[in-house]
Amino acid sequence: MPAVAMSSHTRFRSINDLSCGACQNKNCIIKNNLSILEDSSLVNNKSTLRCKKGQQFIMEGAPVNGLFFILKGTVKVIRTGINGREQIVRFAKEGEIIGHRGFGTEEYYSIGAIALQDTILCYFSKEYLQETLLNNPKFAFDMMLFYANELNRSENKVKSISQMTVRERVIDSLLYIHRKFGNLNGFLNLPLSRREYADYAGTTEEQVIRVFSALKKEKLIAAQGKKIGISDIQLLKREINDHNYFLDS
């Protein structure tokens, strides 16, 4: 009789089969090209990694050997600043790529990545990726589109951090989370601490708390602990549009 802890939600679904063929992920570039890639050395040599919540699976400065795809869960990508301040570069969800330069000539990671929830990752080695990209134009094209989008988003973020006020940056962050992760029961479908909002918006935890309090008073958002609900998305959007910022991604 195996004494398994019942307290943790240990539901063993059919996640036993982690092969690309069994994957349900509609966003994954590899999954979407599986007709071409099936039985390729890339797919057959991938490895999977399970991360617990809060676990860091890419350390800044560690050597690069490949590329991670998220099979399940969410991840934050960070870069540590000069004073030890952690800047969240982006949040990533199922189907997205972590460690963008994993197949290039880069030798060491310039970013770190931490699981926000229990997460399953697929890991593809640099060698097989390079081989596959060289041989499959369609796959290479899809990858290029993904990278172009990321670059666009990253450039927008630079602008927002340098030109917007704290309040606008916090609102921008809320809208970004809403866009990307959507709502669940009227709350944003990704629980983040105020510190994480601060690290993403490029401000401090206190500032975020104060902006949240103001927004609550103005009935633009609702907050219960870590759960944030957006009450009036139109007004929020307008507030940053007036400062001539828009564009989705």
**Min separation Cβ 227 and DNA, Å:** 6
Q: Give the closest residue to 57 by CA, choosing from 39, 32, 44, 75.
A: 75
Q: Give the whole-angstrom CA distance, residue 1 versus residue 105.
A: 51
Of positions 56, 87, 204, 231, contacts DNA by CB under 7 A: 204
- Residue 76 makes CB contacts below 8 A (sequence gap 6+) with 88, 90, 91, 92, 113, 114, 116, 196
Tell me which residues in 160-199 interact with DNA (CB under 7 A).
Answer: 191, 193-195
Q: Does 205 bind DNA (CB under 7 A)?
A: yes
Q: Does 79 bind DNA (CB under 7 A)?
A: no
Of positions 18, 34, 166, 209, contacts DNA by CB under 7 A: 209
Q: Does 223 bind DNA (CB under 7 A)?
A: yes
Q: What is the phi-psi region of residue 182: left when phi exceeds 0, alpha when psi lies from -120 to 50, beta otherwise? A: left
Q: Does 224 bind DNA (CB under 7 A)?
A: yes
Residue 43: Cβ within 10 Å count: 20
Give strand ranges (E) for the chain: 47-51, 56-58, 66-72, 75-80, 86-92, 97-98, 112-115, 119-125, 183-184, 187-188, 221-224, 227-230
Of positions 155, 206, 218, 232, contacts DNA by CB under 7 A: 206
**Min separation Cβ 63 and DNA, Å:** 30
**Min separation Cβ 50 and DNA, Å:** 17
**Min separation Cβ 38 and DNA, Å:** 39
Window contacting DNA (CB under 7 A); options: 72-80, 138-146, 153-161, 204-212: 204-212
Amino acid at site 103: F
Tell me which residues in 5-64 interact with DNA (CB under 7 A).
Answer: 7
Number of H helices, E strands in the chain: 9, 12
Cross-strand pairs, 80: 86
Q: Does 155 bind DNA (CB under 7 A)?
A: no
Of positions 126, 167, 227, 237, contacts DNA by CB under 7 A: 227
Which lies closer to DNA via its Cβ, residue 60 or residue 205? 205
Of positions 159, 226, 238, 243, contacts DNA by CB under 7 A: 226
Q: Give the whole-angstrom CA distance, residue 166 versus residue 136.
A: 45
Place of tokens 């099979």: 71
Residues near DNA, by CB under 7 A: 7, 191, 193-195, 204-206, 209-210, 212-213, 223-227
